[in-house]
Amino acid sequence: MYGDQGNKLVQHAKRTQNLSHLPTYQTELVRAVTREVRDLDKDVTQLLEPFQGSFDPSADQATACTLLVNHLSMRRNKRCLLAYHRTRTDKLEELVWKGADVNDMPGKSRDDSTGAEGAAGSLSPQEEEYVRQYSDLLAAYKGQWTDIDLTGNLEPPRDLFIDVRVLKDAGEIQTEYGAINLTKNKAQLIAIYRGGCATMPEPRETKSVIQRFRERHIGIDFLG
Amino acid sequence: MSYYDIDAILTEAERVPATFNHTIPLLGYLDNSPSLKAGTTVPLPLWLAEMLALASAGPSQQHSQESTSFTSLTLPSSLSTSVSQALKADPRAVALRDQSAHFYALGVRMLDLFEEPELGDVLRRTFVTRAGDVVMHARKAGSGTDDALGVGAQGEEFLRGLEEWERQLFRRAHDGAKGRREWMDGVKN
């Protein structure tokens, strides 16, 4: 009956709420629901046609009831559609805030090497656009405070150093905390925070150091 | 209740028996017959049944005095007297999920439509009695050994019968206990 497809969509949304990743966008189901709405609208127009805009509900209750059922079904479908998409955009926003490589995620056909964690192709084109624009928005918002990282980790660091194991010879690397010599198979500590008790450690810097290593394709394993 | 609330939407998909007061030829598909006759009872989802019962349609065809709505509702079987009797006897013994996955939420919606103070009392007492057990199980789960829930066959049976509100309660109680444990571990270092 009408509304069943929409219900399936909401059940998908329910499942999405409890998942850490975003499941594939239900293109088919969304299309089926919108088609149902369009059909219902056509039905309504057809039903109302003979009345020429002067329909009196109390005179023809059977038609009135049919119209009401059609109208309610459309409204229900609309709610299901909106709720489904809202659940997904909420999730996407959450991912953007976490900075979980969302920028690689929408890459459906782009290089699969970076973001190939099963997330490829799970977004609709509109959702990809949403993520892109939301990321821009968040970046603009964050840009107002250069010394605070709003998306930084809230957990204070346990250590001033990070344990790494070097997988590949990389020679000497300059970081803003001094030079590090990376030799293969050597386990070593890298300072990730500026020393001195006057400077508060900035949690995000772990990430920036790691990022810099990634950019240079240096093979290291993070142990800590 | 938000418009986008997934649980509210799913609650509205629960079916309620609705008896039509009019013959409506075009709605036969609801009953799998060519035409929907007056007096037919069809289980309709709440989102449809509620509005049909509330919308005024003018005087009915058979009884010109009463029933001005398209349908009349009756309580769904999950909230019938037999269920409420069973809950009165022992709230813990009933698998609410088998009655309805949104048992309490449905009850709340139905009590908006029906004048049933006794049913409301039963639901309230049921929730309070079961909530204690739910939280107890939630704290036990995961505190000891990681694999088994450690609740025994009876407890497992009970947990399977939890409906949506109770599941959320369980999850929160469980997460709360876990979070506290993690925090305590962090404090020691």
Q: Provide ipTM, 2 decimals.
A: 0.83
Residue A167 contacts B, CB cutoff 8 Å: no
**Are B60 and B88 within one domain?**
no
How sure is the predictor about A197, in pLDDT bands with cuts at 50, 70 and 90?
very low
Return the residue of A nearest to B5 by Cα: A83
Interval A80-100: pLDDT, tens: 999 999 999 999 999 888 876
Residues 80-119 of A with CB under 8 A from B: 80, 82-83, 86-87
| Helix, strand or coil, per DSSP, at residue B185 | helix
pLDDT-based confidence at B81, cuts 50/70/90? very high
How many domains would you assign to chain B?
Answer: 2
Cβ of A76 under 8 Å from any chain B Cβ? yes
Q: Distance between CA atoms of A34 and A74, rounded to whole angstroms?
A: 9
Q: B93 and B155 share a domain?
A: yes
Q: A 23-62 residues with CB below 8 A of B?
A: 47, 57-58, 61-62
Average pLDDT (A140-165) is 73
| CA distance from start to end of chain B | 43
What is the count of residue pairs from A and B with beta carbons less than 8 Å apart? 74
Rounded to whole angstroms, how far apart are CA atoms B75 and B100?
A: 13
As a whole number, mean pLDDT of residues B103-110 equals 94
Which amino acid is present at A101? D
Q: Do B47 and A66 touch (CB under 8 A)?
A: no
Residues of B in contact with A11 (CB under 8 A): 10
Q: Is the dihedral of CA A152, A157, A161, A166 positive or negative?
A: negative
Q: Answer with the one of B58, B73, B88 that is the final residue of a domain.
A: B73
**B44 and B117: one domain?**
no
Measure B69 CA to nearest chain A CA, in Å: 10
A57, B57: Cβ pair inside 8 Å?
A: yes
pLDDT digits (tens, 9 = 90+) for B31-49: 888 888 888 899 999 999 9
Decide if A148 contacts A192 (C-beta within 8 A).
no
As separate numbers, helices (DSSP H) first and strands (DSSP E) second, chain B gives: 8, 3
Assess whether B59 and B100 both reside in one domain.
no
Q: A86 to chain B: which residues are within 8 Å by CB?
A: 4
Report yes or no: A188 at the B interface, CB cutoff 8 Å: no
Same domain? For B16 and B56 the reply is yes
How far is it, in rounded angstroms, from Cα B119 to Cα B81?
A: 8
Q: Residue A160's pLDDT band (boundaries 50, 70, 90)?
A: low
DSSP assignment, residue B45? E
Which value, to the nearest 10 degrees, does the dihedral of the CA atoms of residues A23, A28, A31, A33 take?
-80
The verdict on B47 and B64 lying in the same domain is yes
Whether residues B3 and A82 touch (CB distance < 8 A) is answered with yes
Q: Which helix (H) or strand (E) holds B72?
A: strand B71-73
Nearest by CB to residue B6, choosing from A14, A62, A65, is A14
Q: Is A72 within 8 Å of B51 when comparing Cβ atoms?
A: yes
Of the residues B18, B49, B73, the one at which a domain ends? B73
Candidate from B22, B29, B47 with C-beta closest to A62: B22
Domain that holds residue B32: 6-73
Three-state SS string over chain A comes to: CCCHHHHHHHHHHHHHHCCCCCCCCCHHHHHHHHHHHHHHHHHHHHHHHHHCCCCCCCCCHHHHHHHHHHHHHHHHHHHHHHHHHHHHHHHHHHHHHHCCCCCCCCCCCCCHHHHCCCCCCCCCHHHHHHHHHHHHHHHHHHCCCCCCCCCCCCCCCCCCEEEEEECCCCEEEEECCEEEEECCCCEEEEECCCCCCCCCCCCHHHHHHHHHHHHCCCCEEECC
Closest approach of B70 to chain A, Cα-based (Å): 7
Candidate from B6, B51, B57 with C-beta closest to A64: B57
Taking CB atoms and an 8 Å cutoff, what residues of chain B touch A7?
A: 10, 13, 45
Instruction: Tell me the mean pLDDT in the region B126-134.
Output: 94
Contact A151, A99 (CB under 8 A): yes
Residue B146 has pLDDT above 50, yes or no: no
Within this chain, do residues B173 and B86 fall inside the same structural domain, yes or no? yes
Q: Establish if B54 belongs to a structural domain.
A: yes
Of A12-21, A40-49, B23-32, minimum mean pLDDT range: B23-32
| Any domain includes B104 | yes
Give the mean model confidence (pLDDT) for residues A160-185: 65
Token digits for B31? Answer: 């009953």
Q: Are residues B53 and B12 in the same domain?
A: yes
Among the listed ranges A9-13, A58-62, A65-69, B164-168, which one has the minimum average pLDDT value? Answer: A58-62
Find out whether B123 and B106 touch, Cβ atoms under 8 Å.
Answer: no
Task: Check whether residue B10 and residue B54 sit in a common domain.
Answer: yes
Residues from chain A that touch B101, judged by Cβ atoms under 8 A, are none
- Would the CB atoms of B52 and A68 count as touching at under 8 Å? yes
CATH number at residue B24: 1.20.58.2050
